[in-house]
Structure 1
Amino acid sequence: MNAIFTDASFQNITNVANRYGISVNAVTDLTQRLMSSNGSMAQFNIPELGGGGQWMQGGMTMVGDMFNNNLKSTVNGLCVELSNLIHQGAIQYKPLPKIQNADGSTSPAGHWWGNLGFPNSTGSQNGTSYAIFNTIRRLAIQQNGKVTVFDTLDNNIGGVGQQQGGNYSVTFTSQYGTVNLNSLPIISGGNGMQNAAPVQNNDIQNNVVENIVEAPIAPMMQAPMQPDNYTNDSAFEEGIFSKIEKLAGLKDKGILSVEEFENKKTDLLNRL
């Protein structure tokens, strides 16, 4: 696990783990979840922390054993400390080694997917290579020497299969089923295709936001195993988390102002 963090960062993670009596591996896993949101929220499925759970900066904590207040307190304390360390720059990934390209530019050595960091999984089928980065919501595909990077939105890609026909020889599945690559925004590559079109007016913006806020509540993630007491109430709370996370994405892209995001977040939290 230490391979991806700087030595100083890993020592800070180890210190936090020791203070809480939690294994370093579990805390490192939790840290990776927090790093994907710059310390603002985390989704995790860590047996040592009660299985599936979520945390959001500001005091929202959910664990599989929803009535275990001691576990909630532990998870919240861990996330708060780790989040503070991330914001302070005391936890960082190791920089990838660089190589000099023929055109004078540099790129990470040995990684065809560029500077996306460390993938959750990689593979190759029928001449098509792929790298999945669930923590930063990216999917990189290399075909015929060309690399295309997709924004996977809220898809948590967990399966890869063979496709007959279509633009790519592989298919991907998430918690929603088969992922339609044509529906994902392209970050780079893709015959010059650009990201999804920017918002043109307030009516479009409002429609996007209201569709998120008013959509039926559904579980945000599907853990491999849920405790028996992981009830419908917990699933409802997970749906609230999911909506807030989507709104946060709109804020980060400049579609929502900070004030608009806070108002919508308050509206959702009041439903709990």
Structure 2
Amino acid sequence: MRKLTGQGEQAVVDLARRYGVSTDAARTLLEAVLQGNGTRAQFSHPELGGSGQWMASGMTMIGDMFNNGLKATVSGLASELSNLLASMPVYMPAPPPPPPPAAGGQPGVVHPANLSTWWPGDLGQPSSVGGQNDSRYAVFPTARRLAVQSGGGPVRIHDTLDHLVSGVQQQQGATPGTLSFSSQHGTFTVDSLPLASTAPPASAAPRQYLAPVPGPVVGTPEPDPAAAATGGTDPEVILATIDRLSDLHQRGVLSDDEFSAKKAELLARL
């Protein structure tokens, strides 16, 4: 199994204790939920009724099909593990793959093209990397970041909020570089995500300059996620942002006052 962060390991132990299962059973279900992008899971563990399936829509099936109490336990645990994956970095970043052999087959010699990557190194190892036309992207679920570069310009680092990114596509007829992604919340554009930081292209500065901007300096106001997400006064974007804020409010990320204030601010832009 993948290595958990200290915070993630403690959260899994607490959930296992609360639901009356072993940490091994909870870890097995956690891995299955992760593989299902937080919305579904296929698992097999004796404490969870053998082989089974879970979907965030409410469907739960276990091998011990007449054990309704165990079925409720699995359903509740899977739902909380899905929320856990969306709310904090649960897993440690995966180690980078070993460098390929150089020409001539000598192992351990790094080809110059592998000396650096186009995204800031402090983001860790991406879960997926790709490109469309003149744009390229890298997804970092552990850091909850999405790196995008278009036309050789600066690398933009976006906060993915509670999205579990599962796919990417480029809208036909859209502005070049406009990527849209899919998650458990549906399809969204990269411009709807708050901008966390920017970095120069890899060819424009030394590698150490490409590190992402650290957390906000004391006294410097943080960027407003709601304002960044709307990208103007487009009614559809504003309503979609209110839906995401409502989801965060229901999850307990936003307080009642914070949600009401942001909602009123967004409605005023319609």
Q: Normalized against structure 2, the TM-score is what?
A: 0.44
Q: Normalized against structure 1, the TM-score is what?
A: 0.43
